Chain A
Amino acid sequence: MSVSSAPPPAGTLLSRVVGLLIAVLLTAASAGVGVYQNLPAQQVILYSAATLALTAWIWRFYVVQFGVGAGGEQGTGELRRAWRRYRPGILGFLALLAVFVALSLTIDGFFNVWTVISALILLMIIILTMSVGRFMAENRSAFIGLMVLMGLFSVGSMNIEGFASATNIKSMLLFASFLGLASIGQTLVALLGGLDLSIPYVIGAANVGLLYLISLGVPPWLTFLLILLAGALIGIINGVLSLRLQGQALIVTLGAGFVVSGGTQIVTSIGSAYSGNVFGTVPEWLTNLSSMAGSTFGLPFPPVIAIWGAAAIVLTIGLRHTVYGRFLYALGVNRTSAERLFISERAYWISAFGLSGFFSAFTGCLLLGWSGGGFIGVGSQYLFMTLAAVVVGGTSLLGGVGGYGFTVIGVLVLQVLTSFLVGIGLKFEWQQFIFGLLILPMVALYARSPHIRTQI
């Protein structure tokens, strides 16, 4: 063993040996699985060679990334130092390996060339995010989100027939735009350190209310505007009510949501034989706005995608470069110093909730165009999904950190993940389960708070 104070770029001898050992073990395991599954000998050899080469390369890459800049520690022996330096990496790698082998052994037909390549891609992404991500202080969550998005998309398109087809991308974007529009309000409110739980109820109420007013004979465009105004008004009321109860904002908005949803249903079911159900014709332009078959100025995608894109650009840039956006961040970070700058907490709090109500109502109207029938529970899945999108994107729920651009990434990640899980044939409950399990490690990659001893 060579004892040198600065390790060579290719890593120490020990780490190379360990890497080679792991690669050989992995290869042996995969070859064993291949033989066990009675695959043709050529395939087994091909896969084994590929596994060996790729693992060895990744190990080398990995070690180099982590090895640079470290070192300089003396004493206590090579083995111990190497172990201490690479412990999380080695443990994580072994865990992933174990999962992969376990899956290969338990699920029939899991082990094929596409799965191996997908696993390697995922591994590469993890390594990239861990090695490059540490150099990015500000936008790390966006970087990790994008990497995950790319990884998921490439894995999905390799493993699932028609995943990357135009139709599927269009449908993913369509659903993403509903979730994205619903999350606008949640993002703005979260930037101030609040939570808005009234979003699903306002969505449902707007959905039913729009159809109800149309069925009464009010001109659709007027109804649309009225509903949007009503949504904004509800949001403003939410803001006013919760202004002095910011700690309890989530319960205040929840209560307001119940009132809105119950009230709408009472109004729409008076004089109706079908309590709670509203029937009517959805106008042509609204259907075109948000259905799969819709077209934007002749282009073959529904206008709602374009609307979401425009909203995302305006909000992302607006939050960064306008006075409104900067003051919003200022309030989120520190109320006291914002107050010293004469930033009105009341105006910003209320306006953020107002925008939230407005966009919730907008989403509700668009969902009517998509489904063609009013249903009060249409927004119920957005109760925690908007929250999840905000969190996965990297906006802090404590306020002041993040932005709408992050939420867009969060929305896309969630949507592609859903699409992927649906594509491999998982049912709704399994999707939700995996969602839950994945949110935590993703957030843990970039939103860890420092230890208490560093905060004193």
Chain B
Amino acid sequence: MKRTVFFGALTVASIAAGASAAATLDDVKARGKLNCGVTTGLVGFAAPDANGKWEGFDVDFCRAVAAAVLGDANAVEFVPTTGKTRFTALASGEVDMLARNTTWTLSRDVDLKFDFIGVNYYDGQGFLVSKEMGVSSAKDLDGATVCIQTGTTTELNLADFFRANNISYEPVPIETNAEGQQQYLAGACDTYTTDASGLAATRATFENPSDHVVLPEIISKEPLGPLVRHGDNEWGDIVRWTLNALISAEELGITSANIGELSAAAGDNPEINRMLGTEGNLGEMLGLDADWAKRAIMAGGNYGEVFAKNIGESTPIALARGLNAQWKDGGLIYSPPFR
């Protein structure tokens, strides 16, 4: 019995490890579909709509990569992952990339053997409380029951925050955002903590969002970004430069409205020309064709359009650009040049 189980585990581990060693780009092309790990459902970032079609900020990034690599923004298989299952899913090769509000940390980058390809949302951890509790600061939460998603950096930040402030709390570990929402609304926990963007997205789905408030303290830096397996640099480059293309497109004023016109022939701006493939051979260097960036941008628009459509101020989630504005507008969103 013992031996059977042991070898079963080894088999699983070795199959998993075997899968991850192959070249991801070839796998994706052969499959004709991109497997993209997303959340199990966080409105605005990744959630299926009423027709079962996935949409959101992270989903649009998956679609942009699929469009760049495969030429079809819909050739994506969305794999819902929890905070706990996401890394195993990526390491085992079940997904080709993860676009799932994942915080870039040293240990994940180095020890877990992943490559974060950039930051697509600068976030921080906050606390959601009901207004009637009369709490105005996270430091007033002494003795509170806190709902927290397990296997996240927020879980560790929470422990650090309460320890640093010498106050106590009772953690209620939960698996998914939906569970957290259910427990929080039923009053099984006093506060729900996760990334402030996630809290805003969760709050937007409440019956009475105005009864709840996100406390002013942001207790951590949470740079969220897509990630791929360490070691397959060719694939990592493609995903990284797809993100950079979306960011540069906003900076350079390329939108889904004018991209057809701009990519028809070489224009005045050499960087736009290089990016859209009317000049130079950047696409070829990545192992793709010349139109890769054009397709990526056409999939859902540039970074600003994707932001505005899914989580921007006109949506129920109503997140301001803040740190996520372009560097020219005082934010941190910045892409290396296309050259």
Co-complex (A, B): no
